[in-house]
């Protein structure tokens, strides 16, 4: 049986696909920064147990953890503009970042809560005894220690964001999977195109995992 696999075509498609890797990486990186910022704000609010706000935040977390990311992206980009016309001005790239950020923040909230909870509560009591405010203690004492605990799980979240960024092509974002889809449709070489995309993602994630391990070692040495 003849195997219809064109290795030369696949090698030749790499330069085209690599031109769009910056979109994939930027989607994941910006979404990670925004998602982490949202999660940190939510964790701080949840820590103070505000009766009127906390139930709403728990609904937010439950919704984004309990529904498919693709549905969330469609709801944000295709659905909400029908109800809120001003959202029609949001382009696909921005919508993808917003969706990925909100989704990842719901997961990072739990990561940060666990990391902060791992820090001895006696340290906050000592901080207050020294005359520092709760926020000063959180910023100077608790968060630096919590960051060391959270890095492995946050690294996994970033890897998930890199993979999930491929869903942005369903909104029309011209990232590497979208380019592979167009090339495959034009040449009918689906296997070669999708395998090339898989290899690019694989290499990116291997490189990131290596960087993450170096960061973890340095953080552990710092303590």
Indicate if the pLDDT at residue 222 is higher than 60. Answer: no
Give domain status of residue 172, yes or no: yes
Give domain status of residue 186, yes or no: yes
Look at the alpha carbons of 125, 126, 127, 129 in this order and tell me if their dihedral is positive or negative.
positive
pTM above 0.85, yes or no: yes
Structural domain containing residue 191: 7-222
More confident site: 215 or 211: 211
Q: What is the pLDDT of residues 189-200, one digit of tens each?
A: 999 999 999 999
pLDDT number for residue 25: 94
Give domain status of residue 1, yes or no: no
Give domain status of residue 2, yes or no: no
Helix (H, G, I), strand (E, B) or coil at 53: coil
**How many domains would you assign to the chain?**
1
Give domain status of residue 145, yes or no: yes
Give domain status of residue 194, yes or no: yes
Domain harbouring 54, CATH code = 1.10.3720.10
Which string of b and e fits 21-47 if b means at least 16 CB within 10 Å? eebbbebbbbbbebbbebbbebbeebb
Query: 171 and 95 in contact (C-beta within 8 Å)?
Result: yes
Percent pLDDT > 70 in the chain is 93
Helix (H, G, I), strand (E, B) or coil at 84: coil
CB atoms within 10 A of CB 217: 10
pLDDT number for residue 1: 56
Give domain status of residue 66, yes or no: yes
Query: 73 and 167 in contact (C-beta within 8 Å)?
Result: yes
Q: Specify the DSSP class assigned to residue 173.
A: -
Give domain status of residue 150, yes or no: yes
pLDDT number for residue 94: 95
Q: What is the pLDDT of residues 65-96, one digit of tens each?
A: 999 999 999 999 999 999 999 888 999 999 99
């Amino acid at each position: 049986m003849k195997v219809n696999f064109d290795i030369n075509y696949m090698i030749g498609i790499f330069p085209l696909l690599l031109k769009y890797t910056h979109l994939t990486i930027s989607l994941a990186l910006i979404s990670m920064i925004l998602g982490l910022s949202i999660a940190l704000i939510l964790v701080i609010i949840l820590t103070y147990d505000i009766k009127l706000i906390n139930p709403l935040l728990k609904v937010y977390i439950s919704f984004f953890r309990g529904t498919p990311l693709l549905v969330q992206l469609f709801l944000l980009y295709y659905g909400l503009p029908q109800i809120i016309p001003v959202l029609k001005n949001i382009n696909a790239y921005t919508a993808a970042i917003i969706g990925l950020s909100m989704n990842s923040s719901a997961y990072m909230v739990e990561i940060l809560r666990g990391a902060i909870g791992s820090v001895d509560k006696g340290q906050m009591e000592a901080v207050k005894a020294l005359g520092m405010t709760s926020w000063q203690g959180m910023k100077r004492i608790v968060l630096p220690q919590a960051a060391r605990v959270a890095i492995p799980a946050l690294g996994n979240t970033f890897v998930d964001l890199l993979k999930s960024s491929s869903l942005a092509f369903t909104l029309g974002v011209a990232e590497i999977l979208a380019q592979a889809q167009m090339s495959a449709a034009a040449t009918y070489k689906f296997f070669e195109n999708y395998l090339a995309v898989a290899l690019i993602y694989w290499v990116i994630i291997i490189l990131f995992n290596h960087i993450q391990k170096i960061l973890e070692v340095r953080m552990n040495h710092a303590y």
